[in-house]
Structure formats: structure tokens, C-alpha cells
Amino acid sequence: MAPEWETHAAWWQEHFTAGADPEYEEQILPLADAHLAGFRRVLDLGCGEGQLARRVAALGAEVIGVDGSWAQIRAARDRAGGPAYLRGAATALPVATGAVDAVMACLVLEHVDPFEPAIDEIARVLAPGGCFVLFLNHPLLQAPGSGWIDDHILEEQYWRLGPYLPDDVSVEEVAPGVHLPFVHRPLSRYVNVLADRGLLVEHMDEPAPAPGFIARAPEYAHAAAIPRLLVLRTRKQA
């Protein structure tokens, strides 16, 4: 795992958890409710400080959270709320074959390179008929270099798409002094690698940006029809 996540776990926790981030509060956590309700044994891969794991545990599931960062695992254990937490890598999940009915990974695979071994592991730990729910920064509309353009010379406003097809690994300064590596891959790579492991897409969400996010990001007032998030729910073939 990239060592940056150990260094910046506290930054993540302060700005994106415990009610601090409208995209989680208004969108991601309710989507986790919708997609994970009814599963008995759930693995949260790259669980961070556990906000999705706690949410799904509150629905009645037995949840295991796995994260590569000790700083995240320590915070998750302190925040408690039902799940068990283990430190582990996406590429070597500390869970037996076929042990869970559902796996979720929220904003994690953008940091895992290569990601194919992680998908192998997810397919291994899922019982036949189980679901993998993948939350991603929308790979098409949020490709590197994408963003709102307000061209005062040509008097045009539009959403620019950055290079979509090539894989890209970039270190982004997401806040002053916080540098994190991000991996971009086209959506077909995700869908085809999942399908090769018997994980077929049965549902996809591309929600409009959350109102609380638009209130904080004025450029999105114009780009409210451009999704930031993509959710794929896949089912392992029996």
C-alpha cells in the first residue's frame, strides 16, 4: 500500500468522516445502505476509519473492515460501532475463501496499482451469488485534467474531459502538504477485469453531485449534470 495513506490518515479522518463531508453524508452512506442491506457477512475493503463498515453493521450485518493503514485501523477500532477490524492488503485479504456474502470498496481502487490482484482476492472471498459493490471517482467524467472551463474569450462554458483511455498514475496535492497517488483507468478495464473473475455488473449508479457538495464548490453549480461518483454492483456467478 502507498505509505502516503499512513501519513495522511488523520487528514482524511478530519475532512471526510464523522459528518464532515456532504458527499459521504448525503450520497455515499445512503448508497451503502441501499446496496448492502440484507447481507449477513460483509467485508469492507480499504475501510479507512470505518464509516461504511459501521453503517452496514447498523443494518444488522456482521462486518469485517480491512485497511492497509494502522492509523486508519486504530481510529476504526476507537470509533467501534460493531465491525471487527484487521490490518491487511487488498492483494492478500485476511479472510477465508467464500467467507462473505458481500464486499464493498469505497474510493479505494483508485489507490491500488495494479488492481487486478485485488479483484482476484475479492472474487476469492465472496461466496457464489454474493455481491461486490464498487464506489469509484467516475473514471470517465473525472479523468485527470477534467474540469469546468469558463472561457471568457470565446464566451464558452463546458466540462473539459482529460485523456480518458491511457492509464495514468499521478501524485495529486489534494490539500496543502497532502500528496496522494491516484490511478486512472478507463471504465472498460474495471468492467472487463470484474467480468473475467465472474463478477458481472447488475446495477450502476451515476448520481448527480450532492447538494451539499455543490454549495461548497461554486464551479459545480454549472456542472451539476456531471457525476463525480460511479457505483457498480456486481454479482459473483454461481
> By CB under 6 A, is residue 5 in contact with ligand SAM?
yes
Helix (H/G/I), strand (E/B), else coil: 96:
coil
* Nearer residue to ligand SAM within complex by CB, 88 or 227: 88
DSSP 92: B
* 161/74 Cα distance (integer angstroms): 39
Number of residues that bind ligand SAM (CB under 6 A): 19
> By CB under 6 A, is residue 22 in contact with ligand SAM?
no
Task: Fill in the amino acid letter for 6.
Answer: E
> By CB under 6 A, is residue 65 in contact with ligand SAM?
no
The nearest distance, CB 158 to ligand SAM, in angstroms, is 29
- Each residue 35-64 as x (binds ligand SAM by CB under 6 A) or -, in order, gives -----------xxx--xx------------
Stretch that binds ligand SAM, among 33-41, 108-116, 162-170, 199-207 (CB under 6 A): 108-116
The nearest distance, CB 135 to ligand SAM, in angstroms, is 7
The nearest distance, CB 116 to ligand SAM, in angstroms, is 12
To which H or E segment does residue 158 belong? Answer: strand 156-160
Closest CB to ligand SAM belongs to which residue?
48
Among 111, 184, 185, 236, binds ligand SAM (CB under 6 A): 111
> By CB under 6 A, is residue 107 in contact with ligand SAM?
yes
* 55/166 Cα distance (integer angstroms): 35
* 180/63 Cα distance (integer angstroms): 27
Helix, strand, coil percentages in the chain from 3-state DSSP, rounded to 5: 35, 30, 35
Sheet (strand 100-106) strand order: 84-87, 62-67, 41-45, 100-106, 126-137, 229-236, 199-205
Q: Which residues bind ligand SAM (CB under 6 A)?
A: 1, 5, 12, 46-48, 51-52, 67-69, 72, 89-90, 106-108, 111-112
